[in-house]
Structure 1
Amino acid sequence: MRRLIERGLMFGNLVEVSSPVWVDRYNRALDHLTGQQTALTEFHIDISGYSPEIADELGDDLYLNHAGVNRQFILLTTEQKAAPLLNMKFSTSRGILRQFIEENEAQLFALTARDAVAGELVNSVYSVPTAARLFDIRKIRVEADTTGGAVRQAAELREKIIHFKTEEDAWFDDVLIAEMISIAKETGDVSRNPITLNEGEFEQGNFWTDHFGGLYVFRDMEKPAVITAGDTEDLGELPVKRVLDLSERTGIAQFLQENSLTEPIIEARGIDAARILRQKLDFIIVDVAGAMGDSIGRGTRGEMRALARRYHDILPETFHGLAALLRWAEGGGPWPTITSEHPAYFYGLRAAPHTDADLVNMLLAELCPLDIRQLFICHKEAFYAAYRDWSDPKKDYVARFLERDYMEDKAATREALFGHNAPDRRDTARDRDTERLIERVGPWGAVRRN
């Protein structure tokens, strides 16, 4: 993993904790949440305050996420909102934490100037012994306060102020006045500078979870489904009828099509489909050449063509299917009819514009593991797991490519690949014919039912 770490592709954008004041605040918050402390004087934290160095010290990757549910968090600075979430157990967790920080940024900035803020993503489930238990998770509530209880004290002071102003004899209550003065010494004037946090509740509709080998739970759909990276037999009885594993390609294709969750890359508005397809072909060439121990060089177009010629006879069917689609997209070949069982099928899709687009792109990334760029952007857990088994030439190429192609402008790359806000392209006769064809038979051809 050294190549990735050096280029900021792993543990990148973590917040450094090195000042004695921050370390002390972190330890107070950690003791408040878990009863533990760290002896480290320097470490790094993610958006939730999780530190890989402290996890290694404690021998516990879940020291802030017991049983993988109800994730706890420690905020030392609002700058954590830009950090990644490590050891993610639910795909919704980072979005909830970021939204919480952004909605309370001014208050959190003031609170973290004096103390750490500790909290928890709370739901009604404290463990998931069975997959069916995941369906009991519907709402996530954020609870947070400083380790000194500033938010709680401010709420208590506000109640006393209301009592002081509204009760008839409160002006003569020396005990009440003394209590208000004592609390105000800690909180300041809450009438002019209110200390409140909009904790709120967040819906957990469709999501991915790391539990049970990796599950995609699409329950808020017209035709719901659960898709697992493991064995469906291990999941037991679930409250949805359609339960699929990643090998059931036709079933997954039907599910995506029936719920209008995907669109073909060649029909996506405002993108260079040919360039995207050509890059996917390069990734496949790199995989084969790397497995053969061949040097990939700088990965130029000429070098890729030479490698494609050298290993043409052993390139997988995925390559030939995408190559046929590229020939059609460039206007020099017939329309390729490829069924959902063909290994190239899902490589030609991306999420359609809808609220679960990120989740669908995550699923597509796992179905298309040779597309290393989409795997890294959309499903880092699967990317890191796959990376360990790649050849050294492929590891070198991937690290250099992602550093150059993605890290220099992440937003632009994501928009080019997955965005839906690009202007419509010019409406040509070819475009209209393509739209009618795809509407009739799907992106590759009609999905065949078993």
Structure 2
Amino acid sequence: MKRLIQHGLMFGNLFHVASPALVERYNRALQHLTGKTTALTDFHVDISGYSPEIGDEQSDDLYLNHAGVNRQFILLSTEQKRSPLLNEKFSVNRDILRRFITDNERQLFALTATDAVAGELVNSVFEIDTPARLFDIHKIEIEADTTKGTLRHATHLGELVDRFKGEDDAWFDDVLIAEMISTAKQTGDITRNPVKLKHEAFQQDNYWTAHFGGLYLFQAVEHPAMIASGDKPVGELPIKYVFDLAERNRIAKFLDYNGLAEPVVKARGVDGAAILRQKMDFIAADALAAKGHDLTGLHRSKLRRLTAQHAQDLPPEYEGLAAMVRWAESGGRWPKISSDHPAYFYSLRAADTPDRNLVNMLLAELSPLDVRQLFICHKTLFYQQYRSWSEQKKAYVVHFLANEYAVDKAGARDALFGHEPDMSGEDAPELPRGMPKVRSRERMIDRVGPWGAVTRERRR
């Protein structure tokens, strides 16, 4: 993992806490939330204020996320919005925290100038002891305040001001006036500088959770289902369809029936053939590394020459994508690739729905040799698999991500996963809010399967 850290591919963009003032504020917030403090004087925190150094110091990577539910957070600066979320237990938590910081940036900037803001992502569940408990989670709300209770005092002062303005003879109420003056010393002039945060309820119906070996839960779609990364959950569940990753046909039908995925070669606004060729390179690199070849710093042209020399060692994923590239570039015979084929999920990307990030995360797990998509869409799984890779593959992947992906992250993501806005001109929100929007354009994939529309177009 040291190689990843050195190249900024792990623990990157963390907020550095080094000044005595910030450390003291952090300790006040940590004491407020957990009853503990840190002896460290220099550490880094993620968007939630979690520090891997403090987690190591306390031998508790969940010190701000007890039981993996209702994540607590400590904000020392609005710059934390650029940081990742480590030890992620729910796929929507980082989006919720980032939106909260962005929506309240001016107020949080003022509050964190003198104090830390501590809070919690609250839902109705405090412990997830069975998979059925996941279905009790529907709405996430944020509770936050400074360690000195600035927001609480500001709310109280506002109530006092309303009393002062609305009650008869309030000018003669010395107790009321004294309490207003005392509270104002803690909050400042709230009439000129209102101290109030926007607290928004976030719907959480479609999400991934790390609990129970990893589960994808799609409730707010036309045909709901749960997809398990490991063994299927045991016990009665309030959902009809539960799949595991080995049930490729059923997952393919689920994605198709709900309009959640589309073929890369038919996606609008992208060079589908180029994307598939890059996936082929990743698949070839895995096969070559398994044979002991040194791929360090290997340029794409040399990699493809080496691939041609070892064609007999390439897996069926490579051959399936190669057939699609030939069709896309030269109009050759359309490859008949069903969902049973190892290349099938490598050929898809998420369609333009509010759940596209979640779908791309699922597709990354179904196509693990595409290391770039795995790194972008499912970092938790990327880090897990990285530990088991050969040194040759580790060197190749790190070199690629550091020298080709990291130099233009936004451009790469847009080229791979970007979508044009809906015909209505309104972009889909980053975070699902209940039921997905109905797309105004026609579905690219007809009900006969993700390749039916493509086949008919070629016949025309």
Normalization by structure 2: what TM-score? 0.92
Equivalence map 1:175-254=2 (5 Å): 175-232=175-232, 234-254=233-253
Q: Equivalent residue for 1:90?
A: 90
Q: Equivalent residue for 1:103?
A: 103
Q: Equivalent residue for 1:268?
A: 267
* Matches of 1:181 and 1:245, distance apart in 2: 62
Tell me which amino acid in the other structure corresponds to 1:411: A
| 1:150-188 deviation digits (Å, cap 9, x = unpaired) | 000001011111111111121111111111111111111
Q: Equivalent residue for 1:430?
A: none
> Structure 1 residues 272, 324: closer, same or farther in 2, change over 3 A?
same
Q: Which runs of 5+ in 1 are unaligned?
A: 425-434
* Matches of 2:265 and 2:243, distance apart in 1: 27
Equivalence map 1:113-152=2 (5 Å): 113-152=113-152
Q: Is 1:310 paired with 2:309? A: yes
Q: Equivalent residue for 2:411?
A: 412
* Matches of 1:437 and 1:126, distance apart in 2: 41
> Structure 1 residues 237, 437: closer, same or farther in 2, change over 3 A?
closer
Q: Secondary structure at the match of 1:370?
A: coil
Equivalence map 1:272-351=2 (5 Å): 272-331=271-330, 333-351=332-350
Q: Secondary structure at the match of 2:406?
A: coil
Q: Which runs of 5+ in 2 are unaligned?
A: 424-441, 454-460
Q: Equivalent residue for 1:377?
A: 376
> Structure 1 residues 252, 186: closer, same or farther in 2, change over 3 A?
same
* Matches of 1:306 and 1:198, distance apart in 2: 57
Contact 2:29–2:116 (CA<8 Å) still a contact in 1? yes
Q: CA deviation at 1:237?
A: 1.4
Q: Is 1:386 paired with 2:385? A: yes
Q: CA deviation at 1:423?
A: 12
* Matches of 1:142 and 1:437, distance apart in 2: 38
| 1:302-338 deviation digits (Å, cap 9, x = unpaired) | 3222321232112111111111111111115310001
Q: CA deviation at 1:235?
A: 3.4
Contact 1:365–1:374 (CA<8 Å) still a contact in 2? yes
Q: Secondary structure at the match of 2:44?
A: strand
Q: Is 1:13 paired with 2:13? A: yes
| 1:42-80 deviation digits (Å, cap 9, x = unpaired) | 000000000000000000010000010100000000000
Q: Secondary structure at the match of 1:16?
A: strand
Contact 2:89–2:211 (CA<8 Å) still a contact in 1? yes
Tell me which amino acid in the other structure corresponds to 1:77: S
Tell me which amino acid in the other structure corresponds to 2:31: D
| 1:285-316 deviation digits (Å, cap 9, x = unpaired) | 11011111111243323322232123211211
Contact 1:72–1:118 (CA<8 Å) still a contact in 2? yes
* Matches of 1:185 and 1:307, distance apart in 2: 72
Q: Equivalent residue for 1:36?
A: 36
Q: Equivalent residue for 2:439?
A: none
* Matches of 1:91 and 1:438, distance apart in 2: 27
* Matches of 2:201 and 2:444, distance apart in 1: 44
Q: Secondary structure at the match of 1:235?
A: coil
Q: Secondary structure at the match of 2:407?
A: coil
* Matches of 1:305 and 1:192, distance apart in 2: 65
* Matches of 1:189 and 1:293, distance apart in 2: 69
- Worse overlay, 293-302 or 150-159: 293-302
> Structure 1 residues 416, 345: closer, same or farther in 2, change over 3 A?
same
Contact 1:269–1:423 (CA<8 Å) still a contact in 2? no
Contact 2:446–2:452 (CA<8 Å) still a contact in 1? no
Q: CA deviation at 1:403?
A: 1.1
* Matches of 2:405 and 2:385, distance apart in 1: 19
- Worse overlay, 326-335 or 66-75: 326-335
Contact 1:271–1:422 (CA<8 Å) still a contact in 2? no
Contact 1:345–1:444 (CA<8 Å) still a contact in 2? no
Tell me which amino acid in the other structure corresponds to 1:442: G
Tell me which amino acid in the other structure corresponds to 1:374: Q
| 1:313-367 deviation digits (Å, cap 9, x = unpaired) | 1211111111111111111531000110110000000000000000000000000
Contact 2:78–2:108 (CA<8 Å) still a contact in 1? yes
Tell me which amino acid in the other structure corresponds to 1:406: Y
> Structure 1 residues 119, 436: closer, same or farther in 2, change over 3 A?
closer
Count of residues paired in the alignment: 435
Q: CA deviation at 1:437?
A: 10
Q: Secondary structure at the match of 2:36?
A: coil
* Matches of 2:444 and 2:205, distance apart in 1: 33
* Matches of 1:220 and 1:172, distance apart in 2: 57
Q: Secondary structure at the match of 1:408?
A: helix
**RMSD between superposed Cα atoms in Å:** 1.7
* Matches of 1:379 and 1:163, distance apart in 2: 52
Tell me which amino acid in the other structure corresponds to 1:76: L
* Matches of 1:146 and 1:188, distance apart in 2: 14
Q: Equivalent residue for 1:3?
A: 3
* Matches of 1:398 and 1:191, distance apart in 2: 55
* Matches of 1:362 and 1:305, distance apart in 2: 28
| 1:427-447 deviation digits (Å, cap 9, x = unpaired) | xxxxxxxx999647534469x
Normalization by structure 1: what TM-score? 0.94
* Matches of 1:29 and 1:331, distance apart in 2: 62
> Structure 1 residues 71, 392: closer, same or farther in 2, change over 3 A?
same
* Matches of 2:242 and 2:443, distance apart in 1: 32
Q: Equivalent residue for 2:48?
A: 48
Q: Is 1:257 paired with 2:256? A: yes
Q: Secondary structure at the match of 1:373?
A: helix
Q: Secondary structure at the match of 2:302?
A: helix
Q: CA deviation at 1:408?
A: 1.1
Q: CA deviation at 1:385?
A: 0.5
Contact 1:337–1:445 (CA<8 Å) still a contact in 2? no
